[in-house]
A and B are shown apart, each in its own frame.
Chain A
Amino acid sequence: MAQEKDHQSKYVRYLLGEMSEAEQSAFEKDYLTDDQVFAELQMIETELIDLYVREELNAADSARFEQHYLNSPERRQRVEFARALQKTTNSVSAPSATRAMTAPQASSESWLRRFLTRLGNK
């Protein structure tokens, strides 16, 4: 599990521009070659955008996101889409889910938030 988290933290650091040149180059080669790595990168990117739009990133992460991530019109458009989607989901009430009493298991998003909190505290 720890290995998996460490692996995932790579994606976030890449998206926030916090990798060294060597690490970034290796990661770029990885996702260009491996479709699974690229799919995971895209999913974590979407989750990061959502956290930003929902104002669930701390101030430091938010600033890093704006400085590094929002550097292209295409990315800004993705953020605008996430904002529109958030507005829509907030205004729509979906069918309620059945609540089951099971032991909580950390989701990717909760992990992402904890990781970003740790980054912010450094």
Chain B
Amino acid sequence: MEHAQVEINRSRKLAIRQRSQRDRDWSKICSDLINYGIAPENAILASLNTSRTHRWDQTTRTLYLEISRRFRLILPDSAPGLRPDSPLLPKSAAQREAAPVRAVASPAALLPEPSPCTDLTFPISDLLPRHRRSELTRDSLAALLAFLDPDPERAGAQYVRLQTKLTRFFQGRGCATAAELADETLNRAGFRLARGEQIRALTGYLYGVARNVLREFQAHHEKHFLPLEELSLREHPIVIPEALPELRGAEEKVETMLVCLEQCLSEMAADSRHLLLEYYQDERRARIEHRKMMAIRLGITLSTLRIRVWRIREALEREVSKRLCLSTLS
């Protein structure tokens, strides 16, 4: 069995993401079904070769499935967001009556069952070809950390810094699963070091490995992931973006984040909090002028103020993100 996440994004492309590491939390790779496509209560996802549907996470609005190699997406005939002339809709009123809307209230209701609705079958594939993926072992991680710095703490910090940079690299190249590909890059370097091979300039080496991982990902992705646009007209779920309930989900997310942010702010050192809140005050020109005044008042340059506030903000963002992940998992 494999865990996977299914997403229909803004451009109506269907993406399937699989969990790449057992210890990675889901929220790292999750986007949600409801925000970027068809509401889950209107799209029934069922896997063909599985015994059960895994879990529907209300907070992140993500559907987690236990699946084997293929899954089936069933679109009820009267799903909101489908145009009246959608080829998915039944041709006659009689057909329409024979195809009632299925409201899915719980994961249990997502079990596959025969339906008169159109169903689309998609192959499941890995992010990378299975034989190309490197598993992170204790030895390879230890070898990589030892190479980065003899001091474990500094090595750990260096590892995180490299992972962040590589994640940015993959994001800049349009990969939705950037964090997993960054891990894969580091795993390969660790594997090579654990085998006793020499790496002279690590960042240059990592860049080369990252380019290879990117090429493999792109080739595999193009080969195995089926964009809905490539389906036949009969199978194509035409969606009216305006009719999608994505705003509802987005508002809820911001609200959750807002509560968490306010909590983190209240726990922050008072001077850091005041600095941050003041820095982001005002609109446009007034904000810029206000920042200049702040820098003068604090006796620092505008550039120093910018760096100082950015560091506070980054720490705050990391903390909020961490707490949101924990609340999602609990």
Residues of A whose CB lies within 8 Å of any CB of B are 14-15, 17, 24, 28-29, 31-33, 35, 38-39, 41-43, 46, 50, 54, 56, 68, 71-78, 80-81, 83-89, 92-95, 97-100, 102, 104-105, 107-110
Contact = CB atoms under 8 A, between A and B. Distances in A.
22 contacts: A14-B172, A28-B207, A32-B165, A56-B284, A75-B171, A80-B257, A81-B261, A81-B317, A84-B257, A88-B262, A89-B281, A95-B274, A97-B290, A97-B294, A97-B297, A98-B296, A98-B297, A100-B293, A100-B296, A107-B291, A109-B288, A110-B288
B153 interface: no
Contact of A94 (B254, B281, B285, B288): B281
A43 to B, nearest CB: 5
Contacts of A50: 280
Interface residues of B, number: 59
Nearest to B277: A94
B296 A86 contact: no
Nearest to A69: B171
Contacts of A76: 31
Contacts of B277: 88-89, 92, 94
Interface string B1-42: 000000000000000000000000000111100000000000
Contacts of B136: none
B321 interface: yes
Contact of A86 (B168, B280, B288, B310): B280
Contacts of A75: 171
A38 B297 CA distance: 29
Task: Point out which of B165, B169, B265, B276 has the most chain A C-beta atoms below 10 A from its C-beta.
Answer: B165
A41 B168 CA distance: 10
